[in-house]
Structure 1
Amino acid sequence: MNKLQAMEVFVQVVDAGGFTRAADNMKLPKATVSNLIQGLETALAVKLLHRTTRQISVTADGAAYYERCLRILSDVREAEESLSRTKLSPSGRLRVDAPTGLARQMLIPALPDFFERYPDITLELGCSDRPVDLIEENVDCAVRGGELGDSALIARRIGVLGFVTCAAPDYIARYGTPLHPRELERHRCINYFSSKTGKVYDWDFSRDGERIQLPLPGLIALNDSDAYVTAGLAGLGVVQMTDFALTDYLRDGQLVQLLADWTSDPVPIHVVYPQNRHLSAKVRVFVEWVSDLFAKHPGMRGAPPTTSTG
């Protein structure tokens, strides 16, 4: 049995939801597909699929094996792609993860340019403020904000985000305008908490060498950037968010900047990917493209891109 072919057939059967459709997709006889799956189950000594006359479903062992097969087949394709000198355009599935706000406001609007350059890449873009495990979840690369702690990843710094403190006009009319960060302790503030740890983040302010970091009271805490901005627009309290995310609302008067003479700690933005992905052409072109996109974006306070592990 050709083990690699059997893996490809198994993945196709799971993706297609049946033997007949998988056989059609691969232009193979249905008997060949069935025999390869049976041979694979025999070699592994596990049942990969539950079969009925109407449908198939994946066993627990089959689901785990399916994820491993995806990685192995992806690695094989990437190795072939990296060694091919005649490959004019990268191709295949590319799984990327990015924070919700950055994806909505920066990445997605620019994707027509990416696909015009690389029409053979199929992109799967996960949009979430939850930090994903790239290895465990089979993600090729991710855009991340903040300091990095995973030494198993290659990181390329692509920009810096500044923050602004503001509130809706209705909130200010009701509760007044704070003139000093410590006055926020008497206000309602919309807090943000980590999706990973559940920790509510402190607020920070700096001016003329003075730095203040403090927890602030609030009726609500959120862990999604879009929901966070929406809460501020609804007048639920004071928000502190990246200035690029609030530019339109500040310009239109839906939000009003507070404490303009104070600044907050900027946050570095990185594109990160596992060390074993560095030979992949599709990862390489995406990293270059997103680095260039962020470097030119007016919402970024760009530092020259740097690459490191960590």
Structure 2
Amino acid sequence: MTAQISLDRLTGLIAFARAASLGNYTSAARSLGVSPSAISKSVQRLEAQLGLRLFARTTRSLTLTSEGRELHEKTLRLLRQAEEIEQTATAARSEPSGTLRITAPLPIGVHILSPAIPKFRALYPKLSIDLRLADQHIDLIEEGIDVAVRVGELADSRLISRRLGWHRIAAFASSDYLSRRGIPLHPDDLPRHDCLTFRYQSSGQLLRWPFKVGTKIIEIVPEHAVVADASDAVAAMAVAGGGICMSPTYVAATFVKAGLLTPVLAEFAVDLFPITALWPESRRSNPNVKAIVAFLQEVFPMPAPWDVVMVNG
């Protein structure tokens, strides 16, 4: 007789695997699009069915028991095999369809991807888009992500990558601020100005402002008047005349075109990191992934329009 797994138990395994990977029910629920209580109940039913305690629970997190660790490894193998089955079926289709899951840093998602997605959907109306924006990197394979757009040099043997462009950051200020406080001509002038700086949400570290001085690239952490952990907030404060900010050009470009921000120290700006598209090896032949990767290369042209504003204003 062939053993059969019930749908209820399979649901419990999925909930358990996601909760174990992410460390809590809330994150697992968010990634699966259900409520935390649904995740908790599924895991509790699974424990009752198996007669095992899978988690040592605290008020803040979940810790796997020894039995839970062993089951987690086996469950991940099972889910990866299910993923391969799904990808084989998807690759058999010639036309992109279904749900395409994309993740990207918040500012790239807001300023570059979101305005482009309607055009992409017009090309592929059978596709629905699940766009997830966060500064924290997530595991593409465990989260079921099709394509990630990320900043920086990234190495993961399970992923395929393609360079899209450059993450260029530069200094900006409003004309009102510059008329009151003067225009800095060299990075050494920054201590005499109000600086608006950015703090990374993932690490809590302050952004080091990079400048190319002669043949060298220097990085400084200026004394700041205000610090914020969102690029758009920093740019908005600069627009309001609060001081000089260091911002990605794709965030500042709209304000520069509208005359609300002016590039400063532009001759010292540097291309800091590459912007890269990544996708799991298992999705190499996926028509959805092929379509979005080709489209992303159009979305990130060279030169990028948001960098051109540094020259043309």
**TM-score w.r.t. length of structure 1:** 0.70
Residue of structure 1 in register with 2:166 after alignment? 160
Percent identity between the two aligned chains: 29
Structure 1 partner of 2:198:
192
Residues 115-173 of structure 1: per-residue CA shift (max 9 Å, x gap):
12322222110122333332343322211112224454322101123333111233223
Partner Cα distance (1:88, 1:275) in 2: 19
The number of aligned residues is: 267
Per the alignment, residue 305 of structure 2 pairs with 299
1:41: Cα distance to partner? 7.9
Q: 1:76 aligns with which of 82, 85, 94?
A: 85
Task: List aligned pairs for 1:225-244, cutoff 5 A.
Answer: 225-244=231-250
Q: Does 1:145 align with 2:129?
A: no
Going from structure 1 to structure 2, the CA distance change for 1:150 and 1:225 (only over 3 Å counts) comes to farther
Structure 1 residues 301 and 234: CA distance shift in structure 2, 3 A: closer
Instruction: Please state whether the residue corresponding to 1:268 is helix, strand or coil.
Output: strand
Contact 2:253-2:306 within 8 A present in 1 as well = no
Long gaps (5+) in structure 2:
15-31, 36-44, 55-62, 65-70, 309-313
RMSD of aligned alpha carbons: 3.8
Q: Distance in 2 between matches of 1:277 and 1:169?
A: 48
Aligned partner of 1:96 in structure 2 is 102
- Contact 2:159-2:281 within 8 A present in 1 as well: yes
Question: What is aligned with 1:282?
Answer: 288
1:3 counterpart SS class: coil
| Contact 1:206–1:263 under 8 Å retained in 2 | yes
Matched, 1:216 2:218: no
- Give the match for residue 27 of structure 2: none
Q: CA offsets, 1:218-258, max 9 Å, x none?
A: 13222322222222222232112222322221232211221
Displacement of 1:181: 0.4
One-letter amino acid of the counterpart of residue 84, structure 2: D
**Is the 8 Å Cα contact of residues 174 and 261 (structure 2) preserved in structure 1?**
yes
Please tell me whether the aligned partners of residues 161 and 301 of structure 1 are also in contact (alpha carbons under 8 angstroms): no
2:5 to 3, 6, 12: 3
How far does residue 96 in structure 1 lie from its aligned partner after superposition?
Answer: 0.9
Q: Do residues 273 (structure 1) and 306 (structure 2) align? A: no
Asked if the contact 1:129–1:225 (Cα under 8 Å) also holds between the matched residues in 2, the reply is no
Could you tell me which runs of 5 or more consecutive residues in structure 1 were left unpaired when the two chains were aligned: 18-38, 49-59, 303-310
